[in-house]
Amino acid sequence: MTRLRFQRSLDDLKEKLLVMAGMAEQAIQRAVEAYRVRDLSICDLVDHGEFAINRLEREIDQMALDLLAMEQPMAIDLRFILAVIKINADIERVGDSAQSISDRVRELQAFPVAEIPVDIPKMASLAEAMVRKALQAFIEADASIAASVLSMDDSVDDMNDAAYFSVLNEMKTQPHIAPQALNALVISRILERVADHATNIAEDVIFWVRGADVRHHMMKDEQAQDETEPKKA
Amino acid sequence: MAVDIQVEHLNAWYGTNHTLMDINLHIPASQATALIGPSGCGKSTFVRCINRMHETNPIARVTGTVRIGDLDIYADVSPVEVRRRIGMVFQRPNPFPTMSIYDNVASGLRLNGFRNRRVLDEVVERSLKHAALWEEVKNDLKKKSGASLSGGQQQRLCIARALAVDPEVLLMDEPASALDPVSTAKIEDLIFQLKSQYTIVIVTHNMQQAARVAERTGFFLNGKLIELDSTHKIFTNPSDKRTEDYITGRFG
């Protein structure tokens, strides 16, 4: 094998992205935990982690830019670097989502605890599972794992839709807990976006591995068949 | 006028060395087709077969069919006629060093018996304009020799010389590999302009160059054509693992 240094740089890029992804995953878990137990010290951890995620985002973009400019990658290497640039942005947004949940938790401190019929922990667990699976697909370069993430997105969307009607109803019947209900709806919406980021990551993994653009359900059946055929040896 | 090239079961040998093995491909008219592959893979031999230069080596042999338009070049015509219809540009610019710029461009026509001064003037001017060299040399056509030009200008002079005999096909064997980036960019711009009027085949080691100028790209390895597809497909998602390994630098 030639271009060993380049291949090592690609490995470094992948490793750095996974470090950042781990931090973003942890940030979401912490933010939801902070919501569940109303603990502002956990919010502080989320805030602190956000700086590190943002720093890593810039470093990864710079590494990817350098590799594009200096190594002029082709084919699967080119697709990998493009996928990394896009996944990088999605992971950073997952970090931002954790920060937004943390902000909501701080706001909620001004109000008494209220029972809102929106199962945030369950929704979070589903969104986190999607992120984890998309990253597993990225680690293993496995398009079929990535494809399984796409089919999970509808469940999170359904839960977010249900949250809207639950909160609407709650605000009608118990207007005095409107701030708590609205915050729950906002967090539900944020988690739905996290699931969307996981979907984007999965689509980018499929693009990297198969060279197929599956965004917005645009892949035609015959194209899918072509692209999934293994390369001739 | 540009014409298609159809190659069927083309085999080539140097002595006992089988350098091209059963090549079958279609090169469309009015497009640039790039040929890439590691050194010794057969891509230069392939273009030399297209204008019957391969057979000029006494130990070389060719079998198979090459059609330029309707013309079967190994059956119907003499090598001289083939080379009039197929211009060739080499890696190192090779103007006739003692001839003026004008005479360099006119040389092919004169060899073919053209003597009319007015016709020669017109063809020289048109060819130099097509080769994007006219503005730089129009005041020195007969004062300066071809060798007095810069490397990039010499290469464009060679392209003008090739265009002067009104070929249908232009073969370019690493036309910019000996040039600096600015001259390379000029040659690439030129290829881009010329390909609407000529069928262009360009051999290159520079994959970015292939990606920039060619609609289609073929990958040669060990005397075989491994893959020929749209340039976009070859450089973003090739079908064959060997193509991918080569263009990503995993071997070669």
> Each residue of B45-79: pLDDT tens digit?
999 999 999 988 999 999 999 999 999 999 978 98
Chain A residue with minimum CA distance to B207? A74
Please determine, for residue A76, whether its predicted confidence score (pLDDT) is greater than 80: yes
User: Residue A217 burial (CB < 10 Å; 0-12/13-18/19+)?
Assistant: exposed
Question: How many alpha carbons lie under 13 Å from residue A69 in its C-beta half-sphere?
Answer: 6
Please determine, for residue B252, whether its predicted confidence score (pLDDT) is greater than 80: no
So what's the pLDDT on residue A223?
Answer: 47
Residue A160, classed as helix, strand or coil, is helix
Number of A/B CB contacts below 8 angstroms equals 47
Q: What is the DSSP letter of B182?
A: H
So what's the pLDDT on residue A232?
Answer: 60
Gap between the Cα atoms of A23 and A35, Å rounded: 18
Q: Which neighbouring-strand residues pair with A232?
A: B240
Gap between the Cα atoms of B248 and B252, Å rounded: 10
Beta-carbon contacts of A49 under 8 Å, excluding residues fewer than 6 positions away, are A23, A26, A27, A30, A95, A98
Measure CA of the first residue to CA of the last residue in chain B; give whole Å.
37
Gap between the Cα atoms of B157 and B92, Å rounded: 12
Average pLDDT, chain A: 92
Q: Which two tokens stand for residue A63?
A: 């590494």
Q: Does A110 touch chain B (CB under 8 A)?
A: no
Gap between the Cα atoms of A163 and A47, Å rounded: 26
Q: Does A76 touch chain B (CB under 8 A)?
A: yes
Structure confidence at residue A216 as a pLDDT band (50, 70, 90)? confident
Chain B contacts of A73, Cβ < 8 Å? Answer: 248
What residue has token string 């273009």?
B47
Q: Are B34 and B217 in contact (CB under 8 A)?
A: yes
- Got the DSSP string for A117-144? S--HHHHHHHHHHHHHHHHHHHHHT-HH
Please determine, for residue A220, whether its predicted confidence score (pLDDT) is greater than 70: no
Chain B residue with minimum CA distance to A7? B250
So what's the pLDDT on residue A233?
Answer: 54
Check CB contact under 8 Å for A231 and B241: yes
- Got the DSSP string for B76-129? TS-HHHHHHHEEEE-SS----TTSBHHHHHHHHHHHTT---HHHHHHHHHHHHH
Structure confidence at residue B81 as a pLDDT band (50, 70, 90)? confident
Gap between the Cα atoms of B210 and B37, Å rounded: 11
Q: Does A68 touch chain B (CB under 8 A)?
A: no
Check CB contact under 8 Å for A78 and B236: yes
Q: What is the DSSP letter of A231?
A: P
What residue has token string 């931002």?
A96
Mean pLDDT, residues B181-193 taken together? 89
Please determine, for residue A227, whether its predicted confidence score (pLDDT) is greater than 70: no
Chain B residue with minimum CA distance to A233? B241
Gap between the Cα atoms of B41 and B219, Å rounded: 9
Gap between the Cα atoms of A78 and A13, Å rounded: 13
Check CB contact under 8 Å for B239 and A76: no
Give the whole-number percent of chain A exceeding pLDDT 70: 92
So what's the pLDDT on residue A229?
Answer: 57
Q: Are B209 and B230 in contact (CB under 8 A)?
A: no
The conformational region for residue B249 under phi > 0 = left, psi -120 to 50 = alpha, else beta, is left
Q: Which two tokens stand for residue A231?
A: 């390369």
Dmax over CA atoms of chain A, in Å, equals 69
Average pLDDT, chain B: 93
The amino acid sitting at A39 is: D
Give the whole-number percent of chain B exceeding pLDDT 70: 100
So what's the pLDDT on residue B111?
Answer: 87
Please determine, for residue A2, whether its predicted confidence score (pLDDT) is greater than 80: no
Q: Tens digits of per-residue pLDDT, A7-21? A: 999 999 999 999 999
The residue among A42, A222, B149 whose CA lies nearest residue B158 is B149
Beta-carbon contacts of A135 under 8 Å, excluding residues fewer than 6 positions away, are A18, A21, A25, A201
